[in-house]
Amino acid sequence: MIPLSVYLFLLIELVAVAYIDILSKKIPNVWSILNLAFFVLFIFLMPEEYQLRLTTFFYSLSFLFVGFVLYLLKIMGPGDSKFLFSFYLLVPASIHEKVFLCLIYATILIGSFFFIRTIIRNLDKMKQALILKNATLLRKAFGKKFAYAPVMLVSWIWFGIQNKELLALK
């Protein structure tokens, strides 16, 4: 279960962060710090949903590790992985897997759309890069990272729609 108030708080936060991420392609650290502070607060206010257990940190730490690797590969920005890490601390551990599945589906769906759109828009550049065997030119044709917070927002809405029964009035 997730308190409806927490779901709505995270929804509003994701709207704000997604907007900032789209505009600036960066997520300020203040959002991650805010989430960490709320996590500590939630431990005291809602101990039945938020506890200091290893399972609470499994997904968060996994996102931090994977995000760091994706950052090194220049696929994901550091703000995205830090925000995803801290965001997952505010999701009760009992529903981590359900939220994660929605995130995976949204990432595949939206990522595929942008990937196909990029290929269609840059087909000539890609052909030229392949003919010239120029990996740098090919990489430039694919462009830069896209904002990930909007993907998180879509997945959060998707989770809420699919799992209305898990939203508890509190």
**pLDDT tens digit string along 124-164?**
888 887 888 877 777 776 766 678 899 999 999 999 999 98
Q: For residue 99, which of 52, 63, 144, 46 has the smallest C-alpha distance?
A: 63
Q: Tokens representing 75?
A: 């696929």
Calculate mean pLDDT across residues 47-74. Answer: 88
Q: Is 127:134 a contact under the CB 8 Å cutoff? A: no
**pLDDT tens digit string along 29-39?**
999 999 999 99
Q: For residue 84, which of 111, 61, 52 has the smallest C-alpha distance?
A: 61
**pTM of the model as a whole:** 0.85
